[in-house]
Structure 1
Amino acid sequence: MLERMRDRLIRRLISAETCLKVTSRTYAGVPFLYILPGKSQDEKKISQSIRRTAAHLTRHTELSWECSYVRTSGEELVYRFRFLYPDQKSFCCGNQCSDCVLQRRQTKG
């Protein structure tokens, strides 16, 4: 699911015409976006576009995202970007934990 979300992010960034080319690469388990900006686009505008697009994609989902500018490599801007699953438990492990999902469901309804 996270790969699909990253693909959607890349497609939307390219279609917004702020980015000419966007590629995703992973090094040591950390995902990076390599972005070739469009004409008259700077790091600040690209960062805003990434944040706006990621916020739109994760609206009405449990996912969150994390983005930080890393460096410029030639003409490309490099960002560390990843979508994140929620930190709370989403399944029952059977150990009768105090924050068990089954107890949460019973108290809701």
Structure 2
Amino acid sequence: MVIYMDLEPIWQQFMRNLTLNKGIKSAYWRKIAGIPFLYINITPELSQLNLEAIIKKCSVAAIKGNRLHSDTIFVRKDDMLLVYRHRFYVPQEKMFCCGNLCADCTRLKR
């Protein structure tokens, strides 16, 4: 059984929070070959390191209350346009006890 989670509301909240920052002129995301890319146009005052901290903060705010993680990887920079591969995903970990007495059993996590 595959459980599908709609990530569209997460992306909408993430982009809304991201564009509220004063160092970001514009931001949008696009899927290319199934991989989500984040395009951010910044002001000259905002450094790449500060931008990545903003992306992390906005990601955490967007996924709060959900069992999701985010991953951001820098791809390229063209003047003031920065491109990142950014995704939200469900962690790949056991969510139930299968009864096989595994060393990483969910019953042993407390």
The match for 1:76 is: 81
The match for 1:12 is: 17
Q: Which runs of 5+ in 1 are unaligned?
A: none
Structure 1 contact 20–37 (Cα < 8 Å) conserved? yes
Q: Which runs of 5+ in 2 are unaligned?
A: 1-5
Q: How many aligned positions are there?
A: 101
TM-score (norm 1): 0.75
Quote how far apart the aligned CAs of 1:84 are. 0.3
Give distance in 1, aligned partners of 2:62 and 2:26.
Answer: 19
Give distance in 2, aligned partners of 1:11 and 1:22.
Answer: 9
Structure 1 contact 18–49 (Cα < 8 Å) conserved? no
Quote how far apart the aligned CAs of 1:33 are. 0.4
Structure 1 residues 25, 73: closer, same or farther in 2, change over 3 A? farther
Indicate the structure with greater helix content: 1
Give distance in 2, aligned partners of 1:4 and 1:60.
Answer: 13
> Over aligned residue pairs, what C-alpha RMSD do you find?
2.8
Structure 2 contact 15–28 (Cα < 8 Å) conserved? yes
Residues 14-49 of structure 1, C-alpha deviation per residue, up to 9 Å, x if partnerless?
112231100111111110000001340121111110
The match for 1:41 is: 46
1:57-72 correspondence runs (5 A): 57-72=62-77
Structure 2 contact 43–80 (Cα < 8 Å) conserved? no
Structure 1 contact 71–79 (Cα < 8 Å) conserved? yes
TM-score (norm 2): 0.74
Q: Percent identity?
A: 26
Equivalent of residue 23 in structure 1, options 25, 28, 53? 28
Which amino acid in the other structure matches residue 20 of structure 1? Answer: K
